């Protein structure tokens, strides 16, 4: 279902179909939850002029008629209000503040933990024109070179898995953060996994992690929207109709290029 006038600016890699931003993925899943489609415009860090009309310089940026909404959290609130007759992203207004906490948990805890694992992979995914910006901004943030950030990758991966403990423990009692079916608080966390999936071949989860089936269920939501999206392993997207076991070996030859803390 297309709602005329919805345009989403998404961070793209060297391969313009590689849309890897965790925050853009939150919005992508929110749109799907609402049964909405948007014209998805690839955007790169150097393209500040392209979205200057919005009065700011971050993506995701949703344009809806005369409205320009940036910041994935604000976009979710906007979609909830503007498309209130469609499936709710929160369930009830009283659930919104608590979902906001989950969003900040994902951003403040998971995002930096994943960055320490995949930062160099992200660098290798972003467009040539974005590399200088990505390197300088992230090296300033971490206070060291990209190479140094990821130097002890096994330790960082272990720290990330430890940080997942609240989610892991909760998923032993319920299928999704939002209960029996996923909603926005799930997408806030899932966006982080999509970021890694798009940019890196590293598996963040161990085989027996209870977080894994949750992630797999979300990959399959909305007609396998996330699973079929172009990623580093599957630059042309994973075939929608192919069974798991019959998909060919991943093509990891794709040289694509990425971003850390966009909203």
Query: What span, in angstroms and rounded, lies between the C-alpha atoms of 197 and 135?
Result: 20
CA dihedral 197, 201, 202, 204 (to 10 degrees): 20
From the list 157, 65, 70, 171, the residue with the least C-alpha distance to 119 is: 157
In the complex with a copy of itself, the residue whose CB is nearer, 6 or 188, is 188
Do 186 and 192 contact (CB within 8 A), yes or no? no
In the complex with a copy of itself, the residue whose CB is nearer, 51 or 111, is 111
CB of 100 to a copy of itself, least distance (A): 6
CB of 191 to a copy of itself, least distance (A): 15
CB of 237 to a copy of itself, least distance (A): 31
Query: What span, in angstroms and rounded, lies between the C-alpha atoms of 218 and 176?
Result: 9
In the complex with a copy of itself, the residue whose CB is nearer, 17 or 175, is 175
| Helix then strand then coil, % of the chain, to nearest 5 | 50, 10, 40
CB of 98 to a copy of itself, least distance (A): 4
In the complex with a copy of itself, the residue whose CB is nearer, 157 or 185, is 185
- Strand ranges inside the chain, DSSP E: 2-11, 37-43, 61-64, 67-70
Binding site for a copy of itself (CB under 8 A): 88, 90-102, 104-105, 107-109, 163, 165-170, 173-174, 176-179, 185
Q: Which tokens sit at 62? A: 């949703």
CB of 253 to a copy of itself, least distance (A): 38
In the complex with a copy of itself, the residue whose CB is nearer, 86 or 224, is 86
């Amino acid at each position: 279902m297309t709602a005329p006038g919805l345009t989403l600016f998404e961070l793209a890699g060297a391969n313009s179909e590689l849309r890897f931003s965790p925050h853009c993925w939150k919005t992508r899943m929110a749109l799907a939850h609402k049964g909405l489609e948007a014209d998805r415009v690839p955007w790169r860090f150097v393209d500040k002029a392209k979205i200057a009309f919005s009065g700011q310089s971050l993506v995701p940026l949703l344009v809806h008629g005369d409205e320009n909404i940036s910041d994935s959290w604000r976009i979710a609130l906007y979609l909830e209000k503007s498309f209130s007759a469609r499936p709710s992203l929160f369930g009830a207004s009283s659930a919104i503040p608590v979902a906001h906490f989950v969003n900040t948990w994902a951003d403040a805890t998971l995002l930096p933990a994943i960055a320490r694992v995949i930062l160099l992979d992200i660098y290798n995914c972003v467009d040539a024109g974005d590399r200088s910006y990505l390197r300088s901004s992230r090296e300033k943030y971490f206070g060291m070179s990209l190479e140094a950030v990821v130097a002890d990758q096994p330790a960082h991966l272990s720290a990330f898995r430890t940080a997942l403990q609240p989610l892991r423990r909760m998923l032993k009692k319920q299928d999704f953060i939002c209960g029996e079916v996923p909603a926005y608080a799930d997408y806030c966390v899932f966006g982080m996994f999509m970021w890694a999936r798009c940019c890196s071949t590293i598996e963040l989860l161990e085989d027996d992690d209870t977080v894994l089936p949750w992630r797999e269920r979300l990959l399959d939501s909305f007609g396998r929207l996330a699973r079929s999206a172009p990623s580093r392993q599957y630059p042309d997207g994973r075939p929608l109709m192919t069974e798991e076991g019959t998909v060919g070996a991943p093509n990891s030859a794709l040289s694509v290029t990425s971003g850390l803390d966009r909203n």
